[in-house]
Amino acid sequence: MEQTIKRNLIRRLLAVAIGLAALSGTAVFYFEMGQVDDLVLSLAVEESQGMMDHVAFLSVKDRQDFESLRKQVAYHLSTEHLSEAGLVSIKLFDRNQRQVISVVNPDDAAAERAISGDAGRMKTKGDVSYRTVSFGSGLYVRFSAPLTYAAGMVVGSYEALYRVDPAQTKAIRMRLVYAVVLVIVIVALTMLAVYPVILALNRDMTGLQRDLTAANVGMLEMLGNAVAKRDRDTNDHNYRVTIYAIRLAEAAGMSPKGIRGLIKGAFLHDVGKIAITDAVLHKPASLSSQEARYMETHVQHGVDILARYAWLTDAMDVVRYHHERFDGSGYISGLRGKVIPLSARIFTIVDVFDALTSKRPYKEAAPIEETLAIMREDRGKQFDPELFDLFLQIAPSLHRDVCLADDAKLIRMLTKLQATYFVNQ
């Protein structure tokens, strides 16, 4: 069980770690990308500041002088600014947003065409609009800003494309990788630190749960035995039918959860007899029809007792339906066939088997051959034929190992089975 808890805990912590790493890694990535944008933009704007010394021509009114100055500025920008490691294209616009200069570094013409045609949303910082773009193996920033001259007078605007130095691009990308990896490592270390703490708390909780379950099962056994003592002056019947029921349920492939309910129901199947008077319960002669109907009310009394306790809900099928018959002639609901719950069909078989093979004050124990012969007559009538055929295969070993066992052995056997289905689950 502990290994199962560890595996489940590791799987869940791993899932949480992956989720946290993904979320925090993404958050850190976008935060770092914002930092990268600011860094790249500051480099680009700083690189473009030299252009401000050449914007005076935009205020020239004479067309011939304007054209002459424009060519000089274009040449200067192309030879001086584009030759410096950074700006790969520069475009100047007048106050009417008409392009007057466009210079492009031929080596970056493909990048300039691709990035200038990018319709992605631009960010803004102050009066600068920008967008950081990766192209090929390079990192670029496309940005635009006003052109000012003479005490801040706006004479136009410019748009430029800046290529980050390859070494700096590599450093930026490594910074992103390191930041994300660091977050993932921190999350992983946190989970490793938390794991033993959670495991210890879970171990303590499991121990308490086991103690509580053992106490509940003990109370269940005590109550069932008290009812059996009042009915038959012995509690052996409860031990035997419970063991028989477990073995038949296992042979039938019943789930552990279903078997737990069956065990509870086997102990408490006759709990409703608490409400039956001694005069009827211990009557040495046959019951009258009126007394028989009164005796049948023990089923409903049992259902009423169990109904108040959620922990015993799964025992209800045995308590309510263990007197139903496969042919529909039983009580209290007259259910037929496989409409009768599986646990009740199992219990009906083992209850009759124990009644026939055990000694009572009014009869001797029947040999197993005689018992099975009698029960065969009710195959398909009282008993589910498929379950009964399955029971026939295990009945000899059950009779040898359980029916003939003394009280101490029965208690050891049942304690082991209870641990399998309750304490160790």
> Quick one: residue 152, left, alpha or beta (phi over 0 = left, psi -120 to 50 = alpha)?
left
Are 169 and 247 in a shared domain? no
Are 307 and 418 in a shared domain? yes
- Residue that finishes a domain, picked among 181, 216, 248: 181
Tell me whether residue 341 is in a domain: yes
CATH code at 390?
Answer: 1.10.3210.10
How many independent structural domains does the chain possess? 2
pLDDT above 90 (res 368): yes
Nearest to 265 by CA among 215, 295, 305: 305
- Residue that finishes a domain, picked among 137, 160, 181: 181
Amino acid letter, 65? D
Q: Specify the pLDDT at position 329.
A: 94
Rounded mean pLDDT of 277-295?
A: 85
Tell me whether residue 107 is in a domain: yes
- Residue that finishes a domain, picked among 145, 161, 181: 181
- The pLDDT confidence band at residue 299, using thresholds 50, 70 and 90, is very high
Are 165 and 245 in a shared domain? no
Of the two residues 213 and 281, the one the predictor is more confident about is 281
Q: Specify the pLDDT at position 178.
A: 75
Rounded mean pLDDT of 218-232?
A: 65
CATH code at 67?
Answer: 3.30.450
Are 126 and 240 in a shared domain? no
Tell me whether residue 219 is in a domain: no
Tell me whether residue 196 is in a domain: no
Are 9 and 146 in a shared domain? yes
The least confident of 209-213, 304-308, 349-353 is 209-213
Are 116 and 250 in a shared domain? no
The chain-wide mean pLDDT, for the chain, equals: 81
Angle, alpha carbons 326-331-335 (nearest 5°) = 45
Tell me whether residue 204 is in a domain: no
Tell me whether residue 197 is in a domain: no
- The pLDDT confidence band at residue 316, using thresholds 50, 70 and 90, is very high
- The pLDDT confidence band at residue 378, using thresholds 50, 70 and 90, is very high
pLDDT above 60 (res 84): no
Tell me whether residue 64 is in a domain: yes
Rounded mean pLDDT of 38-58?
A: 69
Both tokens of 136, joined, read 């090929």
Both tokens of 352, joined, read 């009759």
Rounded mean pLDDT of 119-137?
A: 80
- The pLDDT confidence band at residue 218, using thresholds 50, 70 and 90, is low
| Alpha-carbon span 242 to 220, nearest angstrom | 12
Are 174 and 298 in a shared domain? no
The least confident of 25-34, 157-166, 240-249, 268-277 is 25-34
Are 177 and 257 in a shared domain? no
Tell me whether residue 172 is in a domain: yes
Of the two residues 400 and 22, the one the predictor is more confident about is 400
Q: Are 276 and 298 in contact (CB under 8 A)?
A: yes
For 22, the domain range is 2-181
Are 406 and 266 in a shared domain? yes
- The pLDDT confidence band at residue 43, using thresholds 50, 70 and 90, is low
Q: Specify the pLDDT at position 59.
A: 78
Q: Specify the pLDDT at position 94.
A: 87
Q: Are 108 and 127 in contact (CB under 8 A)?
A: no
pTM: 0.56
Q: Specify the pLDDT at position 390.
A: 96
Are 249 and 133 in a shared domain? no
- The pLDDT confidence band at residue 85, using thresholds 50, 70 and 90, is low
Are 33 and 173 in a shared domain? yes
Share of the chain above pLDDT 70, in %: 79
The least confident of 137-151, 365-379, 402-416 is 137-151
Are 163 and 246 in a shared domain? no
